[in-house]
Structure formats: C-alpha cells, structure tokens
Structure 1
Amino acid sequence: MAQGRVVKVVAGGVGDALVTFGLLVVLLAVYSLWWSNVVSDREADRAAGRLRDSWSAAVPAAPPTPAAESPAPVAGLDRGALGFLHVPAMGRDNQVLIRPGTDDGTLAEGVAGMYTTPYGSVPPWEGAGNFALAAHRDGHGAKFHDLDRVGPGDALVVETRDRWYVYRVDGVLPETSPDDVGVIAPVPVGSPYHEPGRYITLTTCTPAYTSLYRLVVWGSLVREEAMAPGRVPPAELR
C-alpha cells in the first residue's frame, strides 16, 4: 500500500511538472512572437520614416518616362530600401517596407525581402521580369500574416519615390513545398503565366504559426502612374 501511494505521488508530481513545463513553453512562444512583432514593427517604422525623409530631401523627379526607362528609386539612407508594398486586402492602411534579400536577418526587420537567389528578381522600374518578395507570416512584424485574404482580382501596389506600380492578382497557390523555387522563376511555375511579363510574386509560410509549406500569390502589372504632387495614391488605395 505504501509503495502504491509513493508511485501515485511521484506520478502526480511528474504530471504536474509536465503540465507546468508545457504552459511555460506556450507562454514563452506567445511572448516571443508578440515581442518580436513589437521590436520589428518599431524598426520598420523608423526605417520607413528615414526612407520617406530621404525622398522628400531628394531632387524632384524628372518628367515621366516610358516604363522601360523609368528611373530607379532613390535608396536614400536606409541600406538599399526600395520602396513600399501596399496590399489593400490585408488592411486599408497596409504598408510594408521593401528591402533586397530574404535572409533571416533581413526578414526579421519586419520588411518584405526581395529574392535575389536562385533567380534575380526584377523590380518593376527595370521592365519585364518577376518581382518576388517574401515576409514572415508570424513574428518579426508578421507583415504577411493575412496573405491568405488576398485573392484573384485584388490589387497589389508598389510605391517608389517617383511612381506607383499597380498589379492585379491573377493566381494563388495555397500550399507548396518550401523547396519549390519555381514559384519565383521569371515565368513562375504553376502560375497563370506562360510567357515573360511584368509580374509580382508574394510568398510566406503556411499554415499560420508553422513553416511547413509556402503560400504564394501572383500578380501582373496593369499600369503605372507618375507620382503626383502630394503623393496622391492611385484609386486602389483611396
């Protein structure tokens, strides 16, 4: 009997310890995700402010030129920041700073990173090609957390110092392998496209709170607009 009581006490203690450990792990995960969002959002907001300040201080843009000759945006003070991505389907005031690179350090800054490997992304001001971007789904700003809300017909808008580039979403791949690099090819594999064009690709992890697969959104350029005085946005953002 005494031995049985000892076994019950030990088992109960082990069970309580496991429950406590599990709760601590959950709390740590929640805290880590929340705090990484706070830190990344602060840094991204500061970087966005620096970029906009550099645009304001820059020499006024030249008159609009044909798409193939559109000037590259002024990177200014923010380590090569390229501009901003706006996705109205993810929120009326949605804005994500764009930087080159998709390494852990870049994406942890709460930005959308432009793929540089295995294919070289082509920003819209450089003409035909695929402008492929990635951002975190959860943690580190979670800039693409609501990417699953985006569907065919939705607008994607890229803002630079001098121009707006307006894309229309043409296709979505809900789930694919993280190793499926074809989705960011110049003519994305699995997309509705079959010949070179001016495309944009957005990728993030899925399902939420995991990195098992990738969610992919594809769009094509429908028009570009010269930046009007006062930086009046295109109709899709009003």
Structure 2
Amino acid sequence: MRVVGHGERRWRARRRRVLWTGGELLVTVGVVLMLLVVHQLWWTNREARQGAERKVAALEREWGSGQSNGSGDDGGGGTGGSGAAGSGSSAGSSAGASGAGRRQTSYTTRVVASQAYAILVIPRLGLRVPIAEGVSKPKVLNHGYVGHYRGTQQPGQAGNFALAGHRNTHGEPFRYLPRLRRKDTIEVETESATYTYAVDQILPQTSSRDSGVVRAVPRSIVKPSYGYKEPGYYITLTTCTPEFTSRYRMVVWGKLVSMRPRAGTG
C-alpha cells in the first residue's frame, strides 16, 4: 500500500486550485469576448440605426418647416478645397447635362463638418440614411451615417460626389452594397431637390489606398479598366470588403440621370 505524504497532498491541492483558477479565468475571458462581440455586432448596429433614423426624421422636419442650418439651396460650399463654393454650378445645368432637364437654379449651401445635411436612398437595399460631411469614424460613420469625402463635389454638381459607409457594425448601411446592379437607382435628397443617379459600374475590390476612385473623373489607379475618362456627373459609394475586414474597398459608381426640385422650393 502506497503512503501519500503531507507534501504530496499539499502539492495536489495547489495543482487543483491552479487548474480551477485557470478554468475560471478562461470562462471569464470567454464571457468578456462574447459580450464584446455582441456589443459590436448587435448593440452598435441597434444604437446607430436608431440614431440615423432620428436624424433622417429631423432633416425632413427642418426642410418641411423651412428651418435649416444651411445658407441657401444645395451645392457645395465648405467642402474643403473642392472648388464647389462660388463655382456658379446649377442644379438645372447638372440635370441638363444628363438629359434630365433645363431648369437653371444657382445654389450654395454651408456644409458643416460632421453634420448631416442630405439623405441617401437606395430602393433596392431598402436604405434611407443621413449623409454627413466628412468620413471620420467617431464623428460620422460610427453614428450609422454615410460620410461625404471632403474635397469631392456635392449632389448634382459636375464632378464626383463621393461617399463612404460601414459594411459591418455601427449601423452597417453599406452591408448589402454587393446586391446593387447596373441601372439600379441611387437617390440623394437635399433641402432643395432630389438627385437621382443610376448605377453604372461596380468595382468589386481594390486597394484601400486607391485614391483614383474618388477623383473628379473617377478611375481606379490599381485597376485602370474600371472608371471613366471623361468629365461627368458622378456618384461614388465606397465600403470595406470582404466583410469584417478593412483591407480592401468595394466601389459603386453611378451617373446623374435626373433632378427633381422639392415641393415649395420654386
């Protein structure tokens, strides 16, 4: 019969305590990680979507009451070097260039950094989300908004109206962007008009540093077969790809096809 000494019993007891403590720590870490995942994938989406819906409703109330933070009709003043302010662009000339109309209406709007000033509507995706100035994550994108690239044009202007949005978490407005097809419509509602673009080209994947996709005449630097050679009235939507990564970008381009003044704007 084997005799177990006090030293061996103490060693076994310590080993059990270590194993038990290690197990508890692993369970705790697992629970914390699970809560972080739930927060990222569920709570941030819920919070951002509700905030975005409230902002859309607030913009519509402002426009309906005639109380706006802007200084006039839509355009692109204050876009940080885009050359839009005081350019004499007109909604009518924009629409006329795309065969959509002849109305001449000059406009300028004071666009404030990180503030929502328009609404993006994509019928195929059932999307209706605010557009804010800038693409800062904490100030714009993480609120469930779509962000306007500073230095690009504004809705209806000649050039490229470029936007970015999250693919996952924080409202993920562009999660289903790959579902878009050529000729699908993209609408941009502003205080003075609704601008309708038609999807024309889709770049499934490019480098996150491919700055060519948001230039005035958008064209991929990485994949030059995607993009345009002539000036026009473009919209660009960008988001991360594949899902749950930020390594690459997906790009959707559209062309302006019509401009419809809002009721009561003359």
Give 1:23 shift: 5.6
TM-score calculated relative to the size of structure 1: 0.78
What residue number does 1:181 align with? 211
Query: Does structure 1 residue 114 correspond to structure 2 residue 144?
Result: no
- Of residues 40-49 and 142-151 in structure 1, the stretch that sits farther from structure 2 once superposed is 40-49
Give the residue type in structure 1 aligned to 2:147: G
Give the residue type in structure 2 aligned to 1:185: R
Counterpart pick for 2:181 among 123, 147, 151: 151
Question: Which structure's CA Rg is the greater one?
Answer: 2
Separation in structure 2 between the aligned mates of residue 192 and residue 28 of structure 1, nearest angstrom: 39
- Secondary structure of 1:56's counterpart equals helix
Query: Does structure 1 residue 45 correspond to structure 2 residue 68?
Result: no
**1:1-238 residue pairs with structure 2 within 5 A?**
18=26, 21-22=29-30, 24-58=32-66, 66-68=92-94, 69-72=104-107, 80-91=115-126, 94-104=127-137, 105-116=139-150, 120-125=151-156, 127-190=157-220, 191-228=226-263
Deviation >6 Å, runs of 4+: 6-13, 73-79
Aligned residues of 2:52 and 2:145 also touching (Cα < 8 A): yes
Separation in structure 1 between the aligned mates of residue 260 and residue 179 of structure 2, nearest angstrom: 26
- Secondary structure of 1:113's counterpart equals strand
Give 1:17 shift: 5.5
TM-score calculated relative to the size of structure 2: 0.70
Give the residue type in structure 1 aligned to 2:164: A
Identity of aligned residues (%): 39
Aligned residues of 1:205 and 1:215 also touching (Cα < 8 A): yes
What residue number does 1:232 align with? none
- Secondary structure of 1:108's counterpart equals helix
Separation in structure 1 between the aligned mates of residue 49 and residue 167 of structure 2, nearest angstrom: 14
Separation in structure 2 between the aligned mates of residue 184 and residue 167 of structure 1, nearest angstrom: 16
Q: 1:76 to 1:121 in 2, by over 3 A?
A: closer
Aligned residues of 2:114 and 2:140 also touching (Cα < 8 A): no
Structure (1/2) with the larger helix percentage? 1
Equivalences, count: 221
Gaps spanning 5+ residues in structure 2: where? 1-7, 74-89, 95-103, 221-225
Aligned residues of 2:113 and 2:133 also touching (Cα < 8 A): no
